Structure 1
Amino acid sequence: MATAVIATIGEDRPGLVNELSELVVRLNLNIEDSRMAVLAGEFAVLMSVAGEDALLDELEQQLTALCADSGLAHLFRRSTQRAAEDTLACQARVTAMDHPGIVNRIAGFFSSRGINIRELNTETEHAAHTGTPIFNLTLTVELPAHTNAATLASAFEAFCDEHGLDGTLRSD
């Protein structure tokens, strides 16, 4: 069984998910994992599709044609599963008044410690009474086996305090 990761983006409209998933099903392939969201009016799709090599080749060709007809941009990349590592998953949550650089600072904190970010989601909302833009971030990191989760959580909270962020890090 082979796997490919597909990314598509285009103007949001009804039926996009149906068109993409129909193409996959018609080729007898399986969507194993996906993320889909409207961001600034554009519909973005990430999906992992599994099946026979020849069918994935056909998917790549048909996806190119579909995207050309639909005005979508896309990427198609063959993938291999990473070997399982001895890691501990932890979730971080950060809230702050919105300003540039928050994602970069958080990513830098983990990167400087050799910690992989597995998933990251952000959104901005407005405070109910003041209308102030509030930034919310949630992420999942993979701690190497030798990392002390409690020590890292304390360091992360201190880092957040230092940068005017309200942040926590918890293990599963």
Structure 2
Amino acid sequence: MATQKTFLVISALGEDNPGLVNQLSRAILDYGCNIEDSRMTVLGGEFAAMLLVEGRWNALAKVENGLPEIGRQLGMAVFCKRTGERATGKNLLPYAVDVVAKDHPGIVNNLAAFFAERSINIEDMATSTYAAAHTGTPMFSVHMTVGIPADLHIAGLREEFMDYCDGLNLDAVLEPLKG
């Protein structure tokens, strides 16, 4: 009989300094746990990390109890929450969404509203701004992964999405997630 894995989601935020990933991952390893999944990035001058840590219940309890001290040592605000394995069997198709546009307020909210109105879950999202080559125009890009219900007509959804983005002057692609 397979046992249900137990996880801890850790969110950490603090001033960016070399060695933070090493120190944070070492502390988790020292408590007997493993980082199963993570997202780490520098936003402005701050380092942000979200970690999915797996371990036996007692090792996770040690991590939970040790996080305030780890946060103090690293100069980071650290939060955690217990979770279980991700539910499967929802019959969802993973699709990638890429959008590029001249930067302006509301792009993320407009995209989120489009998918929310259709009960499509945004599972992962990364955004960035940059200056366009040659002109220096402020640009905005979004990459996301969405879970589309298998019974949804994909061609119709794609057409709706492309029309929606055209109306907002967003250059967009919606395609099956590869790999």
1:91 counterpart (96, 111, 129): 96
**Residue identity opposite 1:136 in structure 2:** S
In the alignment of these two chains, the number of paired residues is: 172
**Residue identity opposite 1:110 in structure 2:** F
1:163 counterpart (157, 168, 173): 168
1:59 aligns with 2:63: yes
1:154 aligns with 2:159: yes
Structure 1 residues 61-120: Cα deviation after superposition (integer angstroms, max 9, x where no partner)? 112111023221111000112321111011111000000000000000000000000001
**Residue identity opposite 1:127 in structure 2:** A
Equivalent position of 2:50 in the other structure = 46
2:133 counterpart (125, 128, 131): 128
Q: How does 1:79-118 map to 2 (within 5 A)?
A: 79-84=83-88, 85-118=90-123
Contact 1:34/1:45 (<8 A) preserved: yes
Give SS of 2:162's match: helix
Give SS of 1:131's match: coil
Contact 1:149/1:171 (<8 A) preserved: no
CA-based RMSD of the aligned residues comes to 0.9
**Residue identity opposite 2:83 in structure 1:** S
Structure 1 residues 9-30: Cα deviation after superposition (integer angstroms, max 9, x where no partner)? 0000011001100011111111
Cα offset for 1:49?
0.4
Cα offset for 1:150?
1.5
Equivalent position of 2:27 in the other structure = 23
**Residue identity opposite 1:134 in structure 2:** M
- CA distance in 2 between counterparts of 1:12 and 1:82 reads 30
Equivalent position of 2:15 in the other structure = 11
Residue identity over aligned pairs, in percent, reads: 43
Gaps of 5+ in 1: none
Cα offset for 1:164?
0.9
Structure 1 runs (4+) greater than 6 angstroms displaced:
none
Cα offset for 1:60?
1.1
Give SS of 1:9's match: strand
Cα offset for 1:171?
1.5
Equivalent position of 2:150 in the other structure = 145
**Residue identity opposite 2:136 in structure 1:** G
Contact 2:13/2:48 (<8 A) preserved: yes
